[in-house]
Amino acid sequence: MKITQVEAIPFAIPYSKPLRFASGEVHTAEHVLVRVRTDDGIVGVAEAPPRPFTYGETQAGIIAVIESIFAPQLIGLSLVEREVAHERLNRTVGNPTAKSAIDMAMWDALGRSLDVSVTELLGGYTDRMQVSHMLGFDEPAAMVAEAEMMRDTHGITTFKVKVGRRPVSLDTAVVRALRENLGSGAELYVDGNRGWTAAESARAMKEMSDLDLLFAEELCPADDVLGRRWLVQQLDVPFIADESAVTPADVTREILGGSATALSIKTARTGFTGSQRTQHLAEGLGLEVVMGNQIDGQLGSLCSVAFGAAYRLTSHRAGELSNFLAMSDDLLAEPLRISDGELTVRPGSGLGAEIDPDKLRHYRSDR
């Protein structure tokens, strides 16, 4: 179970529909496939999605940090020496998705070595999650049509609506149109990606107070410390910390400081090991948790559901697992399918993901 190689392979797959939100937009999945090989011939896989507008990483930067710093630090370590691996990775600040992809590929390799699924290794609570679909910025009619298509085709009835535009009525009109068209059975929540001020957020939430929202997420920046605390104290729905709460220390600061009351866990930025830590912390603090989406491809979405299904707290709410549906293609030999609004984990060992060699050859961007 000793690590012999850590590969970082860039690939690019266009989206058929770009995703737009307050802090950026994504047109092409320019991700990095990470493969961890061991001395007994096992290969673990995961993907790192660069999100320069959220974490400062780029595709070229992820490859450089893995090849020049992380791979040499890990070669020779056993797959079960995770604490040692993390101590070494954390000598370098930042680079959350590069570190997380390595961590998840190590867990995948461990599961394959032991012939146990990652979900069972982590907690084994269930084998599926309800899916929440994220709706990016568009005209109200187009966003309603997308939600109806997701409901009718995939059985999805929970929607996260991107907000944070100005004037706020651009977004509140969308949420109202969604509620009117989807009816009271749909679950709706909003994510501002720090686009509004605290005062704009308060005004928008008042305007939407009759729309039965489930949560509000990162409506304004956490660095607006007093403004955000003022906002969160007046809301009657949980306020989710997403990009402001990556590490256990971030979570503790945001929650104890009164700037958030719920948590988004994204395996793309905390891997399985870091996500375990924040999951346990959230349990101790009594927080609601939503499994978030870092605009993941199929492999990333499989990682999210593998983790989310492992625990009661993370599988209790619908997880954001459907962004891959907007990609024109993917790398998995057997594509993920959402049916009756659910995504299931793959049976078998590790993550159960096989990369299609022809697709990888076609989409990799280093040759």
Query: Which partner from the list Mg ion, ligand MUC, none does 293 bind, CB cut-off 5 to 8 Å by kind?
Result: ligand MUC
Check residue 295 for interaction with ligand MUC (CB under 6 A). yes
* Closer residue to ligand MUC, CB minimum distance, 54 or 197: 54
Check residue 238 for interaction with ligand MUC (CB under 6 A). no
88/53 Cα distance (integer angstroms): 26
Check residue 51 for interaction with ligand MUC (CB under 6 A). yes
* Closer residue to ligand MUC, CB minimum distance, 220 or 355: 220
Residues labelled as active-site residues: 162, 191, 217, 242, 266, 294
Check residue 132 for interaction with ligand MUC (CB under 6 A). no
343/319 Cα distance (integer angstroms): 9
38/3 Cα distance (integer angstroms): 4
| Interstrand relation of 43-48 and 319-320 (parallel, antiparallel or unpaired) | unpaired
In b/e form, how buried is each residue of 231-270, taking b as 16+ CB within 10 angstroms? bbeebebbbbbbbbbbbeebbebbbeeebbbbbbbbbbbb
Query: Which partner from the list ligand MUC, Mg ion, none does 157 bind, CB cut-off 5 to 8 Å by kind?
Result: none
Query: Which partner from the list Mg ion, ligand MUC, none does 200 bind, CB cut-off 5 to 8 Å by kind?
Result: none
316/229 Cα distance (integer angstroms): 27
* Closer residue to Mg ion, CB minimum distance, 26 or 331: 26
Of 276, 293, 301, 349, the residue at the interface with ligand MUC (CB under 6 A) is 293
Nearest to 45 by CA among 31, 33, 56: 33
Which residues of this chain interact with Mg ion, rule CB under 5 A?
A: 191, 217, 242
Check residue 193 for interaction with ligand MUC (CB under 6 A). yes
Contact 231, 202 (CB under 8 A): yes
Check residue 304 for interaction with ligand MUC (CB under 6 A). no
- Which two structure tokens, joined as six digits, stand for 312? 């009661």
Neighbouring residues of 255: CB distance < 8 A, sequence distance ≥ 6:
241, 245, 261, 263, 285, 287
Of 38, 54, 119, 197, the residue at the interface with ligand MUC (CB under 6 A) is 54
Distances (CA, A) of 295 to 154, 155, 217: 18, 20, 16
The minimum distance between CB 366 and ligand MUC, in angstroms, equals 25
Which region, judged by CB under 6 A, interacts with ligand MUC, from 90-98, 111-119, 164-172, 288-296? Answer: 288-296
Query: Which partner from the list ligand MUC, Mg ion, none does 295 bind, CB cut-off 5 to 8 Å by kind?
Result: ligand MUC
Angular region, 95: left φ>0, alpha ψ -120 to 50, beta rest:
left
The count of C-alpha atoms lying within 13 angstroms of the C-alpha of 133, restricted to the half-sphere facing its C-beta, is 25
Of residues 5-24, those binding ligand MUC (CB under 6 A)? 21, 23
The minimum distance between CB 222 and ligand MUC, in angstroms, equals 13
Query: Which partner from the list Mg ion, ligand MUC, none does 23 bind, CB cut-off 5 to 8 Å by kind?
Result: ligand MUC
Partners of 28 in the beta sheet? Answer: 14
Q: Which run of H or of E encompasses 168?
A: none
Check residue 146 for interaction with ligand MUC (CB under 6 A). no
Of 127, 200, 243, 330, the residue at the interface with ligand MUC (CB under 6 A) is 243
Check residue 127 for interaction with ligand MUC (CB under 6 A). no
* Closer residue to Mg ion, CB minimum distance, 242 or 296: 242
Check residue 294 for interaction with ligand MUC (CB under 6 A). yes
* Closer residue to ligand MUC, CB minimum distance, 31 or 112: 31
Nearest to 55 by CA among 67, 45, 65: 65
Give me the residues that bind ligand MUC (CB under 6 A), please.
Answer: 21, 23, 51, 54, 191, 193, 242-243, 292-295
